[in-house]
Protein backbone atom coordinates (compact mmCIF):
# COMPACT_ATOMS: atom_id res chain seq x y z
CA UNK A 1 0.00 0.00 0.00
CA UNK A 2 1.35 3.35 -0.99
CA UNK A 3 1.64 6.14 1.63
CA UNK A 4 0.27 9.52 0.71
CA UNK A 5 2.32 12.61 1.65
CA UNK A 6 0.00 15.19 3.21
CA UNK A 7 0.71 18.94 3.37
CA UNK A 8 0.29 20.34 6.83
CA UNK A 9 -3.05 22.17 7.07
CA UNK A 10 -3.02 25.84 7.98
CA UNK A 11 -4.79 26.63 11.17
CA UNK A 12 -7.85 28.90 10.63
CA UNK A 13 -6.83 31.14 13.53
CA UNK A 14 -3.57 31.98 11.75
CA UNK A 15 -5.14 32.59 8.34
CA UNK A 16 -7.92 34.98 9.41
CA UNK A 17 -5.65 37.79 10.77
CA UNK A 18 -3.65 37.69 7.58
CA UNK A 19 -6.78 38.03 5.49
CA UNK A 20 -8.00 40.85 7.75
CA UNK A 21 -4.71 42.74 7.37
CA UNK A 22 -4.75 42.31 3.60
CA UNK A 23 -8.34 43.53 3.39
CA UNK A 24 -7.60 46.51 5.67
CA UNK A 25 -4.65 47.50 3.55
CA UNK A 26 -6.69 47.18 0.37
CA UNK A 27 -9.57 49.15 1.91
CA UNK A 28 -7.23 51.88 3.16
CA UNK A 29 -5.58 52.07 -0.23
CA UNK A 30 -9.00 52.31 -1.83
CA UNK A 31 -10.05 55.12 0.56
CA UNK A 32 -6.80 56.96 0.03
CA UNK A 33 -7.10 56.56 -3.69
CA UNK A 34 -10.68 57.84 -3.55
CA UNK A 35 -9.61 60.76 -1.35
CA UNK A 36 -6.64 61.53 -3.59
CA UNK A 37 -8.90 61.34 -6.62
CA UNK A 38 -11.36 63.78 -4.95
CA UNK A 39 -8.55 66.17 -4.00
CA UNK A 40 -7.16 65.92 -7.51
CA UNK A 41 -10.56 66.89 -8.89
CA UNK A 42 -10.65 69.95 -6.59
CA UNK A 43 -7.08 70.80 -7.58
CA UNK A 44 -7.92 70.49 -11.27
CA UNK A 45 -10.96 72.72 -10.79
CA UNK A 46 -8.90 75.32 -8.91
CA UNK A 47 -6.35 75.38 -11.71
CA UNK A 48 -9.06 75.64 -14.35
CA UNK A 49 -10.82 78.48 -12.49
CA UNK A 50 -7.67 80.46 -11.77
CA UNK A 51 -5.94 80.02 -15.12
CA UNK A 52 -8.97 80.65 -17.31
CA UNK A 53 -9.01 83.61 -19.68
CA UNK A 54 -10.65 86.71 -18.27
CA UNK A 55 -10.19 90.45 -18.06
CA UNK A 56 -7.53 91.53 -15.52
CA UNK A 57 -9.05 92.20 -12.12
CA UNK A 58 -12.32 90.41 -12.94
CA UNK A 59 -12.02 87.13 -11.09
CA UNK A 60 -15.43 86.32 -9.64
CA UNK A 61 -16.65 83.39 -7.58
CA UNK A 62 -20.40 83.28 -7.78
CA UNK A 63 -21.52 86.82 -7.01
CA UNK A 64 -18.29 87.70 -5.20
CA UNK A 65 -15.41 89.69 -6.68
CA UNK A 66 -12.04 88.28 -5.65
CA UNK A 67 -9.95 91.25 -4.55
CA UNK A 68 -6.46 89.79 -4.07
CA UNK A 69 -6.55 88.51 -7.66
CA UNK A 70 -3.01 88.16 -9.07
CA UNK A 71 -1.45 87.51 -5.66
CA UNK A 72 -4.04 84.86 -4.85
CA UNK A 73 -3.38 83.14 -8.17
CA UNK A 74 0.38 83.26 -7.56
CA UNK A 75 -0.13 81.69 -4.11
CA UNK A 76 -2.13 78.77 -5.55
CA UNK A 77 0.30 78.33 -8.42
CA UNK A 78 3.23 77.93 -6.01
CA UNK A 79 1.38 75.11 -4.22
CA UNK A 80 0.32 73.40 -7.50
CA UNK A 81 -3.28 74.57 -6.91
CA UNK A 82 -3.78 72.29 -3.90
CA UNK A 83 -6.77 73.41 -1.77
CA UNK A 84 -6.05 75.02 1.59
CA UNK A 85 -9.42 75.19 3.34
CA UNK A 86 -11.45 72.22 1.98
CA UNK A 87 -11.30 68.50 1.33
CA UNK A 88 -13.71 66.12 -0.36
CA UNK A 89 -16.12 66.41 2.61
CA UNK A 90 -16.30 70.21 2.61
CA UNK A 91 -14.39 72.60 4.90
CA UNK A 92 -11.43 71.08 6.73
CA UNK A 93 -10.50 72.15 10.27
CA UNK A 94 -9.06 75.49 9.09
CA UNK A 95 -12.08 76.05 6.86
CA UNK A 96 -14.45 75.39 9.77
CA UNK A 97 -12.58 77.88 11.98
CA UNK A 98 -12.35 80.71 9.43
CA UNK A 99 -15.98 81.99 9.50
CA UNK A 100 -15.77 82.59 13.26
CA UNK A 101 -12.56 84.54 12.84
CA UNK A 102 -14.12 86.65 10.07
CA UNK A 103 -17.16 87.35 12.24
CA UNK A 104 -14.80 88.81 14.86
CA UNK A 105 -13.76 91.51 12.36
CA UNK A 106 -16.58 93.63 13.79
CA UNK A 107 -14.63 93.88 17.07
CA UNK A 108 -11.96 95.76 15.10
CA UNK A 109 -14.49 98.07 13.46
CA UNK A 110 -14.36 96.12 10.20
CA UNK A 111 -17.31 94.68 8.28
CA UNK A 112 -17.21 90.85 8.10
CA UNK A 113 -19.09 90.90 4.80
CA UNK A 114 -16.15 92.74 3.22
CA UNK A 115 -14.49 89.34 3.55
CA UNK A 116 -17.22 87.26 1.83
CA UNK A 117 -18.61 85.97 5.17
CA UNK A 118 -22.23 85.92 4.00
CA UNK A 119 -21.35 84.05 0.82
CA UNK A 120 -18.97 81.69 2.65
CA UNK A 121 -21.67 80.74 5.18
CA UNK A 122 -24.25 80.27 2.41
CA UNK A 123 -21.84 77.99 0.52
CA UNK A 124 -21.08 75.92 3.64
CA UNK A 125 -24.80 75.52 4.35
CA UNK A 126 -25.34 74.38 0.77
CA UNK A 127 -22.49 71.85 1.06
CA UNK A 128 -23.88 70.51 4.35
CA UNK A 129 -27.29 70.13 2.74
CA UNK A 130 -25.78 68.15 -0.14
CA UNK A 131 -23.87 65.89 2.24
CA UNK A 132 -26.92 65.28 4.42
CA UNK A 133 -28.87 64.13 1.36
CA UNK A 134 -25.96 61.80 0.48
CA UNK A 135 -25.39 63.46 -2.86
CA UNK A 136 -21.94 63.92 -4.32
CA UNK A 137 -20.22 67.29 -3.93
CA UNK A 138 -19.19 69.02 -7.12
CA UNK A 139 -15.48 70.02 -7.28
CA UNK A 140 -16.53 73.47 -8.53
CA UNK A 141 -18.45 74.16 -5.31
CA UNK A 142 -15.45 73.19 -3.19
CA UNK A 143 -12.97 75.07 -5.37
CA UNK A 144 -15.08 78.23 -5.21
CA UNK A 145 -15.26 77.99 -1.42
CA UNK A 146 -11.48 77.55 -1.16
CA UNK A 147 -10.84 80.60 -3.38
CA UNK A 148 -13.27 82.75 -1.37
CA UNK A 149 -11.67 81.69 1.90
CA UNK A 150 -8.14 82.43 0.70
CA UNK A 151 -9.24 85.83 -0.59
CA UNK A 152 -11.04 86.60 2.67
CA UNK A 153 -7.90 85.72 4.68
CA UNK A 154 -5.72 87.91 2.45
CA UNK A 155 -8.02 90.94 2.56
CA UNK A 156 -8.87 90.67 6.27
CA UNK A 157 -5.24 90.35 7.35
CA UNK A 158 -4.31 93.20 4.97
CA UNK A 159 -6.89 95.45 6.64
CA UNK A 160 -5.75 94.41 10.12
CA UNK A 161 -2.14 95.15 9.20
CA UNK A 162 -2.43 98.56 7.50
CA UNK A 163 -6.08 99.61 7.71
CA UNK A 164 -8.99 99.39 5.33
CA UNK A 165 -8.96 103.09 4.44
CA UNK A 166 -6.17 104.93 2.64
CA UNK A 167 -5.51 107.77 5.12
CA UNK A 168 -4.49 110.19 2.38
CA UNK A 169 -7.40 109.65 -0.01
CA UNK A 170 -9.90 108.30 2.55
CA UNK A 171 -10.91 105.60 0.11
CA UNK A 172 -11.30 101.89 0.97
CA UNK A 173 -8.34 99.67 0.10
CA UNK A 174 -8.65 95.98 -0.56
CA UNK A 175 -5.13 94.61 -0.49
CA UNK A 176 -1.98 96.16 0.89
CA UNK A 177 1.04 96.04 -1.41
CA UNK A 178 3.13 96.75 1.69
CA UNK A 179 1.94 93.60 3.46
CA UNK A 180 1.75 91.31 0.41
CA UNK A 181 4.84 89.24 1.26
CA UNK A 182 3.88 89.00 4.95
CA UNK A 183 0.38 87.80 4.11
CA UNK A 184 1.62 85.02 1.82
CA UNK A 185 4.16 84.06 4.49
CA UNK A 186 1.32 84.01 7.02
CA UNK A 187 -0.64 81.58 4.84
CA UNK A 188 2.36 79.28 4.53
CA UNK A 189 3.01 79.47 8.29
CA UNK A 190 -0.64 78.62 8.87
CA UNK A 191 -0.13 75.36 6.97
CA UNK A 192 2.66 74.48 9.39
CA UNK A 193 1.20 75.55 12.75
CA UNK A 194 -2.54 75.25 12.10
CA UNK A 195 -3.29 78.08 14.57
CA UNK A 196 -5.65 80.32 12.60
CA UNK A 197 -6.60 82.64 15.47
CA UNK A 198 -2.99 83.42 16.40
CA UNK A 199 -1.94 83.83 12.76
CA UNK A 200 -4.67 86.41 12.17
CA UNK A 201 -4.02 88.19 15.48
CA UNK A 202 -0.36 88.66 14.56
CA UNK A 203 -1.34 90.92 11.66
CA UNK A 204 -3.11 93.44 13.93
CA UNK A 205 -1.09 96.09 15.79
CA UNK A 206 0.73 94.46 18.70
CA UNK A 207 0.73 97.60 20.85
CA UNK A 208 -1.11 97.09 24.14
CA UNK A 209 -3.05 100.32 23.59
CA UNK A 210 -4.71 98.86 20.49
CA UNK A 211 -6.01 95.79 22.29
CA UNK A 212 -7.17 97.86 25.26
CA UNK A 213 -9.24 99.88 22.81
CA UNK A 214 -10.68 96.66 21.33
CA UNK A 215 -11.74 95.63 24.85
CA UNK A 216 -13.22 99.09 25.47
CA UNK A 217 -15.33 98.67 22.34
CA UNK A 218 -16.69 95.38 23.67
CA UNK A 219 -17.57 97.00 27.00
CA UNK A 220 -19.36 99.80 25.17
CA UNK A 221 -21.38 97.17 23.31
CA UNK A 222 -22.54 95.87 26.69
CA UNK A 223 -23.61 99.39 27.69
CA UNK A 224 -25.58 99.68 24.43
CA UNK A 225 -27.19 96.27 24.98
CA UNK A 226 -28.27 97.41 28.45
CA UNK A 227 -30.04 100.43 26.96
CA UNK A 228 -27.27 103.01 26.82
CA UNK A 229 -27.59 106.05 29.07
CA UNK A 230 -30.23 108.76 29.64
CA UNK A 231 -30.21 112.15 27.92
CA UNK A 232 -29.81 115.21 30.14
CA UNK A 233 -32.36 117.87 29.06
CA UNK A 234 -31.22 121.39 28.28
CA UNK A 235 -31.35 123.71 31.25
CA UNK A 236 -29.37 125.87 33.62
CA UNK A 237 -25.80 125.02 34.61
CA UNK A 238 -25.70 122.48 37.44
CA UNK A 239 -23.21 123.16 40.22
CA UNK A 240 -22.29 121.43 43.49
CA UNK A 241 -24.91 122.12 46.16
CA UNK A 242 -27.74 122.63 43.64
CA UNK A 243 -31.09 120.90 43.95
CA UNK A 244 -32.61 120.10 40.57
CA UNK A 245 -34.62 117.23 39.06
CA UNK A 246 -31.96 116.99 36.36
CA UNK A 247 -29.46 115.90 39.02
CA UNK A 248 -31.25 112.54 39.22
CA UNK A 249 -30.70 111.99 35.47
CA UNK A 250 -27.12 113.24 35.75
CA UNK A 251 -26.38 110.64 38.40
CA UNK A 252 -27.95 107.86 36.30
CA UNK A 253 -25.98 109.01 33.27
CA UNK A 254 -22.65 108.87 35.10
CA UNK A 255 -23.49 105.52 36.67
CA UNK A 256 -24.07 104.07 33.19
CA UNK A 257 -20.64 105.14 31.94
CA UNK A 258 -18.84 104.21 35.16
CA UNK A 259 -17.83 107.58 36.63
CA UNK A 260 -20.31 107.40 39.52
CA UNK A 261 -21.11 104.70 42.03
CA UNK A 262 -24.58 103.60 43.09
CA UNK A 263 -24.72 105.71 46.25
CA UNK A 264 -27.53 108.27 46.39
CA UNK A 265 -27.92 110.84 49.20
CA UNK A 266 -30.56 109.49 51.60
CA UNK A 267 -33.85 111.15 50.78
CA UNK A 268 -32.11 113.70 48.55
CA UNK A 269 -31.72 112.20 45.07
CA UNK A 270 -31.95 115.67 43.49
CA UNK A 271 -28.98 117.06 45.50
CA UNK A 272 -25.73 117.71 43.63
CA UNK A 273 -23.48 116.38 46.42
CA UNK A 274 -19.71 116.01 46.76
CA UNK A 275 -19.63 112.44 45.42
CA UNK A 276 -21.44 113.52 42.28
CA UNK A 277 -19.05 116.44 41.88
CA UNK A 278 -16.11 114.02 41.86
CA UNK A 279 -17.89 111.92 39.21
CA UNK A 280 -18.53 115.00 37.03
CA UNK A 281 -14.88 116.07 37.27
CA UNK A 282 -13.79 112.56 36.34
CA UNK A 283 -16.08 112.71 33.31
CA UNK A 284 -14.70 116.11 32.33
CA UNK A 285 -11.14 114.81 32.61
CA UNK A 286 -11.97 111.79 30.45
CA UNK A 287 -13.58 113.95 27.76
CA UNK A 288 -11.08 116.77 27.35
CA UNK A 289 -13.21 119.39 29.11
CA UNK A 290 -12.39 122.12 31.61
CA UNK A 291 -12.40 120.36 35.01
CA UNK A 292 -14.59 122.64 37.10
CA UNK A 293 -17.41 120.36 38.28
CA UNK A 294 -20.02 122.58 36.62
CA UNK A 295 -22.39 120.94 34.12
CA UNK A 296 -22.65 123.73 31.58
CA UNK A 297 -23.30 123.62 27.81
CA UNK A 298 -20.00 121.92 26.83
CA UNK A 299 -20.19 119.22 29.50
CA UNK A 300 -23.91 118.68 28.81
CA UNK A 301 -23.16 118.27 25.09
CA UNK A 302 -20.55 115.57 25.78
CA UNK A 303 -22.84 113.82 28.29
CA UNK A 304 -25.57 113.59 25.67
CA UNK A 305 -23.48 111.91 22.99
CA UNK A 306 -25.10 108.44 22.80
CA UNK A 307 -23.23 105.23 23.56
CA UNK A 308 -23.58 104.17 19.92
CA UNK A 309 -21.55 107.18 18.80
CA UNK A 310 -18.97 106.58 21.50
CA UNK A 311 -18.53 103.06 20.15
CA UNK A 312 -18.09 104.54 16.67
CA UNK A 313 -15.31 106.75 18.03
CA UNK A 314 -13.57 103.72 19.49
CA UNK A 315 -13.78 101.79 16.21
CA UNK A 316 -12.58 104.77 14.16
CA UNK A 317 -9.49 105.09 16.31
CA UNK A 318 -8.70 101.39 15.91
CA UNK A 319 -8.42 102.16 12.19
CA UNK A 320 -6.09 105.07 12.95
CA UNK A 321 -3.92 102.69 14.98
CA UNK A 322 -3.66 100.38 11.98
CA UNK A 323 -2.15 103.21 9.90
CA UNK A 324 0.87 103.36 12.21
CA UNK A 325 4.12 101.41 11.87
CA UNK A 326 3.92 98.15 13.81
CA UNK A 327 7.51 98.42 15.05
CA UNK A 328 8.26 101.46 17.19
CA UNK A 329 11.59 102.80 18.31
CA UNK A 330 12.43 102.58 22.03
CA UNK A 331 12.24 106.38 22.22
CA UNK A 332 9.18 108.03 20.73
CA UNK A 333 6.89 111.02 21.01
CA UNK A 334 3.14 110.93 20.48
CA UNK A 335 1.40 114.22 19.76
CA UNK A 336 -2.37 113.81 19.85
CA UNK A 337 -3.62 116.95 18.14
CA UNK A 338 -7.26 116.21 18.96
CA UNK A 339 -6.44 116.08 22.69
CA UNK A 340 -3.87 118.95 22.62
CA UNK A 341 -1.37 116.64 24.33
CA UNK A 342 2.15 115.26 24.00
CA UNK A 343 3.58 112.14 25.59
CA UNK A 344 7.28 111.33 25.27
CA UNK A 345 8.55 107.85 26.15
CA UNK A 346 12.17 106.95 26.87
CA UNK A 347 12.73 103.46 28.30
CA UNK A 348 10.59 103.50 31.47
CA UNK A 349 10.41 107.30 31.68
CA UNK A 350 7.40 109.27 30.47
CA UNK A 351 6.91 112.99 30.00
CA UNK A 352 3.47 114.53 29.39
CA UNK A 353 2.53 118.08 28.54
CA UNK A 354 -0.06 120.29 26.91
CA UNK A 355 0.38 121.48 23.36
CA UNK A 356 -1.16 124.08 21.06
CA UNK A 357 -2.05 122.90 17.55
CA UNK A 358 -3.32 124.31 14.27
CA UNK A 359 -6.50 126.30 13.88
CA UNK A 360 -9.48 124.75 12.15
CA UNK A 361 -8.49 126.31 8.81
CA UNK A 362 -4.77 125.54 9.32
CA UNK A 363 -5.01 122.00 10.62
CA UNK A 364 -1.99 120.18 11.98
CA UNK A 365 -1.46 117.16 9.66
CA UNK A 366 -1.04 113.52 10.65
CA UNK A 367 2.34 111.89 9.96
CA UNK A 368 5.36 110.12 11.47
CA UNK A 369 8.99 111.23 11.10
CA UNK A 370 12.38 110.90 12.78
CA UNK A 371 13.66 113.79 14.90
CA UNK A 372 17.02 115.05 13.61
CA UNK A 373 18.10 118.05 15.65
CA UNK A 374 17.19 120.66 18.25
CA UNK A 375 17.69 124.35 17.61
CA UNK A 376 18.37 126.63 20.58
CA UNK A 377 17.53 130.33 20.14
CA UNK A 378 16.13 129.78 16.65
CA UNK A 379 15.40 132.32 13.98
CA UNK A 380 11.83 132.25 12.67
CA UNK A 381 11.72 132.32 8.91
CA UNK A 382 8.19 133.58 8.50
CA UNK A 383 6.20 131.61 5.89
CA UNK A 384 5.24 133.81 2.96
CA UNK A 385 1.51 133.34 3.57
CA UNK A 386 1.88 134.71 7.13
CA UNK A 387 4.31 137.41 6.02
CA UNK A 388 2.01 138.94 3.40
CA UNK A 389 -1.33 138.34 5.13
CA UNK A 390 -0.48 139.23 8.74
CA UNK A 391 2.81 141.15 8.93
CA UNK A 392 2.82 143.20 5.72
CA UNK A 393 -0.33 145.22 6.64
CA UNK A 394 1.24 146.06 10.02
CA UNK A 395 4.55 147.16 8.46
CA UNK A 396 2.81 149.26 5.80
CA UNK A 397 0.91 151.11 8.53
CA UNK A 398 4.00 151.51 10.70
CA UNK A 399 7.47 150.62 9.33
CA UNK A 400 8.73 150.67 12.92
CA UNK A 401 6.61 147.58 13.63
CA UNK A 402 9.36 145.35 12.16
CA UNK A 403 12.15 146.46 14.49
CA UNK A 404 9.78 146.68 17.44
CA UNK A 405 9.00 142.97 17.11
CA UNK A 406 12.52 141.86 16.15
CA UNK A 407 11.66 141.24 12.47
CA UNK A 408 14.16 141.65 9.64
CA UNK A 409 13.12 142.24 6.03
CA UNK A 410 15.68 140.44 3.87
CA UNK A 411 16.56 140.51 0.21
CA UNK A 412 19.13 138.35 -1.51
CA UNK A 413 21.71 141.05 -0.79
CA UNK A 414 20.95 141.62 2.89
CA UNK A 415 18.59 143.49 5.24
CA UNK A 416 16.10 146.09 3.93
CA UNK A 417 15.44 149.29 5.89
CA UNK A 418 11.62 149.49 6.08
CA UNK A 419 11.74 153.30 6.47
CA UNK A 420 13.30 153.60 3.03
CA UNK A 421 10.59 151.59 1.21
CA UNK A 422 7.68 153.17 -0.67
CA UNK A 423 5.09 150.83 0.83
CA UNK A 424 2.29 152.25 -1.36
CA UNK A 425 3.80 150.27 -4.25
CA UNK A 426 4.04 146.98 -2.30
CA UNK A 427 1.19 144.48 -2.05
CA UNK A 428 0.77 140.87 -1.04
CA UNK A 429 1.04 139.91 -4.70
CA UNK A 430 4.34 141.67 -5.49
CA UNK A 431 6.07 141.57 -2.09
CA UNK A 432 9.65 140.71 -3.19
CA UNK A 433 11.40 139.90 0.09
CA UNK A 434 11.27 137.50 2.98
CA UNK A 435 10.82 138.23 6.68
CA UNK A 436 12.80 136.69 9.52
CA UNK A 437 12.43 137.14 13.26
CA UNK A 438 15.64 137.21 15.30
CA UNK A 439 16.15 135.02 18.41
CA UNK A 440 14.91 136.47 21.65
CA UNK A 441 12.07 136.64 24.15
CA UNK A 442 9.62 137.91 21.51
CA UNK A 443 10.44 135.22 18.94
CA UNK A 444 7.31 133.31 17.94
CA UNK A 445 9.21 130.01 18.25
CA UNK A 446 10.35 130.81 21.77
CA UNK A 447 13.77 129.59 22.80
CA UNK A 448 13.83 125.99 21.43
CA UNK A 449 12.76 124.34 18.19
CA UNK A 450 12.56 120.57 17.57
CA UNK A 451 13.10 119.50 13.96
CA UNK A 452 11.85 116.31 12.32
CA UNK A 453 11.92 117.30 8.61
CA UNK A 454 8.70 116.51 6.75
CA UNK A 455 6.82 117.58 3.66
CA UNK A 456 4.39 119.64 5.71
CA UNK A 457 7.10 121.89 7.20
CA UNK A 458 5.65 121.21 10.65
CA UNK A 459 7.85 121.24 13.74
CA UNK A 460 7.56 121.61 17.53
CA UNK A 461 8.67 124.71 19.40
CA UNK A 462 8.52 126.85 22.49
CA UNK A 463 6.21 129.88 22.58
CA UNK A 464 6.12 133.25 24.37
CA UNK A 465 2.32 132.98 24.66
CA UNK A 466 2.33 130.81 27.77
CA UNK A 467 -1.13 131.90 28.89
CA UNK A 468 -2.78 129.91 26.09
CA UNK A 469 -1.88 126.62 27.77
CA UNK A 470 -4.51 127.36 30.41
CA UNK A 471 -7.27 126.98 27.83
CA UNK A 472 -9.05 123.61 27.56
CA UNK A 473 -9.18 123.78 23.75
CA UNK A 474 -5.92 124.96 22.25
CA UNK A 475 -6.19 125.22 18.46
CA UNK A 476 -4.40 128.54 17.91
CA UNK A 477 -1.32 127.88 15.74
CA UNK A 478 -0.72 127.98 11.99
CA UNK A 479 -0.19 124.21 12.00
CA UNK A 480 3.01 123.77 14.02
CA UNK A 481 3.01 122.38 17.56
CA UNK A 482 3.74 124.68 20.51
CA UNK A 483 5.05 122.99 23.66
CA UNK A 484 4.25 123.63 27.30
CA UNK A 485 7.57 122.16 28.59
CA UNK A 486 10.18 122.50 25.82
CA UNK A 487 13.21 122.48 28.16
CA UNK A 488 12.04 119.26 29.84
CA UNK A 489 11.57 117.61 26.45
CA UNK A 490 15.03 118.71 25.25
CA UNK A 491 16.66 117.28 28.38
CA UNK A 492 14.82 113.97 27.96
CA UNK A 493 15.95 113.69 24.34
CA UNK A 494 19.58 114.65 25.13
CA UNK A 495 19.81 112.30 28.12
CA UNK A 496 22.42 110.15 26.32
CA UNK A 497 25.01 112.88 26.84
CA UNK A 498 25.50 113.63 30.58
CA UNK A 499 27.01 117.00 29.66
CA UNK A 500 23.52 118.26 28.82
CA UNK A 501 22.30 119.43 32.20
CA UNK A 502 19.44 121.82 32.86
CA UNK A 503 21.94 124.45 33.98
CA UNK A 504 23.95 124.20 30.77
CA UNK A 505 20.87 124.34 28.56
CA UNK A 506 19.47 127.38 30.35
CA UNK A 507 22.85 129.14 30.13
CA UNK A 508 22.89 128.58 26.36
CA UNK A 509 19.38 129.98 26.10
CA UNK A 510 20.43 133.10 28.01
CA UNK A 511 23.24 133.83 25.53
CA UNK A 512 20.64 134.47 22.84
CA UNK A 513 22.92 132.85 20.27
CA UNK A 514 21.63 130.25 17.84
CA UNK A 515 22.93 126.73 18.44
CA UNK A 516 22.05 123.51 16.58
CA UNK A 517 22.31 120.24 18.54
CA UNK A 518 22.17 117.02 16.51
CA UNK A 519 20.33 114.07 18.04
CA UNK A 520 22.36 110.87 18.15
CA UNK A 521 19.69 108.48 19.48
CA UNK A 522 16.67 107.38 17.43
CA UNK A 523 13.57 109.41 18.30
CA UNK A 524 10.39 108.93 16.29
CA UNK A 525 7.71 111.61 16.34
CA UNK A 526 4.14 110.45 15.67
CA UNK A 527 1.76 113.36 15.08
CA UNK A 528 -1.62 111.67 15.43
CA UNK A 529 -5.32 112.43 15.66
CA UNK A 530 -7.05 110.24 18.25
CA UNK A 531 -10.52 111.09 19.51
CA UNK A 532 -10.60 107.98 21.70
CA UNK A 533 -7.84 106.04 23.44
CA UNK A 534 -7.02 104.18 26.64
CA UNK A 535 -4.47 105.96 28.83
CA UNK A 536 -1.59 104.44 30.81
CA UNK A 537 -3.93 104.00 33.80
CA UNK A 538 -6.43 101.96 31.81
CA UNK A 539 -8.95 104.82 31.58
CA UNK A 540 -10.97 105.12 28.37
CA UNK A 541 -10.63 108.69 27.10
CA UNK A 542 -12.58 110.71 24.55
CA UNK A 543 -12.05 114.20 23.21
CA UNK A 544 -13.96 116.47 20.83
CA UNK A 545 -13.42 115.98 17.10
CA UNK A 546 -11.91 119.45 16.64
CA UNK A 547 -11.28 119.07 12.89
CA UNK A 548 -14.51 117.14 12.10
CA UNK A 549 -12.53 114.19 10.78
CA UNK A 550 -14.51 111.40 12.44
CA UNK A 551 -17.65 111.52 10.23
CA UNK A 552 -15.55 111.46 7.04
CA UNK A 553 -13.52 108.48 8.23
CA UNK A 554 -16.62 106.63 9.45
CA UNK A 555 -18.21 107.01 6.02
CA UNK A 556 -15.05 105.72 4.30
CA UNK A 557 -14.64 102.84 6.75
CA UNK A 558 -18.20 101.69 6.11
CA UNK A 559 -18.27 102.42 2.41
CA UNK A 560 -19.77 99.64 0.31
CA UNK A 561 -17.78 99.64 -2.88
CA UNK A 562 -19.87 96.88 -4.38
CA UNK A 563 -16.74 95.20 -5.64
CA UNK A 564 -15.59 98.19 -7.66
CA UNK A 565 -12.21 98.58 -5.93
CA UNK A 566 -9.97 95.69 -6.95
CA UNK A 567 -6.47 95.19 -5.61
CA UNK A 568 -4.77 96.94 -8.52
CA UNK A 569 -6.09 100.27 -7.15
CA UNK A 570 -4.62 99.74 -3.67
CA UNK A 571 -1.68 101.87 -2.64
CA UNK A 572 -0.52 101.85 0.98
CA UNK A 573 2.63 103.17 2.63
CA UNK A 574 3.52 103.40 6.28
CA UNK A 575 5.68 106.50 6.03
CA UNK A 576 4.42 110.08 5.98
CA UNK A 577 0.65 110.40 6.03
CA UNK A 578 -1.83 113.21 6.16
CA UNK A 579 -5.57 113.41 6.47
CA UNK A 580 -7.52 116.26 4.85
Which amino acids are annotated catalytic?
A: 461, 480
Write out 46-96 in H/E/C secondary structure.
HHHHHHCCCCCCCCEECCEECCCCHHHHHHHHHCCCCCCCEECCEECHHHH
Q: Give all strands of the β-sheet with 414-416 in edge-to-edge order.
A: 380-381, 434-437, 407-411, 414-416
Asked if residues 166 and 571 have their Cβ atoms less than 8 Å apart, the reply is yes
Residue closest to 557 by CA, chosen among 289, 319, 234, 223: 319
DSSP characters over 486-538: HHHHHHHHTTTSTT--HHHHHHHHHHT--EEEE--S-EEEEEE--SEEE-TTS
Indicate the burial class of 351 (C-beta count within 10 angstroms; 0-12, 13-18, 19 or more): middle
* Beta pairing partners, 354: 341
CB 263, CB 275: distance < 8 Å = yes
What does the angle CA 80 – CA 85 – CA 86 come to, to the nearest 5 degrees? 90
Q: Closest by alpha carbon to 310, among 209, 216, 211? A: 216
Tell me how far apart the alpha carbons of residues 453 and 458 are, in angstroms, rounded to a whole number.
Answer: 8
- Alpha-carbon gap, residue 294 to 287, rounded angstroms: 14
Interior angle at CA 157, CA 177 and CA 189, nearest 5: 95
Q: How far apart are CA 148 and CA 117, in angstroms?
A: 9
> In the chain, how long is the greatest CA-to-CA distance?
154
- Alpha-helical segments (H) within 258-306: 274-286, 297-303
Is-contact 138 532, C-beta < 8 A? Answer: no
What is the per-residue burial (b if ≥16 Cβ within 10 Å, else e) of 10-40?
eeeeeeeeeeeeeeeeeeeeeeeeeeeebbe
DSSP code, position 4: P
Amino acid sequence: MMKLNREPRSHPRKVLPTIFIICSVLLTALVLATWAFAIDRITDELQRRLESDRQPGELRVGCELIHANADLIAFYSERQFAPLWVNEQGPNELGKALPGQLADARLHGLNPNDYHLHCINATINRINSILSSRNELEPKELADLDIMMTDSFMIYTSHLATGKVDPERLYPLWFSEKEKANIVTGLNDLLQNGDLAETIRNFAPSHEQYWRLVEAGQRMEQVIAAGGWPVLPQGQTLRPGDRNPHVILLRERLQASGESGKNVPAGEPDLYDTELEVAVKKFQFRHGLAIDGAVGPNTREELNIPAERRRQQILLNLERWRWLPHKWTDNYIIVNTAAFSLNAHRDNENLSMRVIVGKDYQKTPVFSETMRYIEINPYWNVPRSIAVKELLPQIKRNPGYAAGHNYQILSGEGPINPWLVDWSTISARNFPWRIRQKPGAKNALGRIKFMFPNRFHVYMHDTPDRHLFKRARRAFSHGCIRLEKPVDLALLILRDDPAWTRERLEQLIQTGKRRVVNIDSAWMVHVLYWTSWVDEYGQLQFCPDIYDRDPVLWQALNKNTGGEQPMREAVVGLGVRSIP
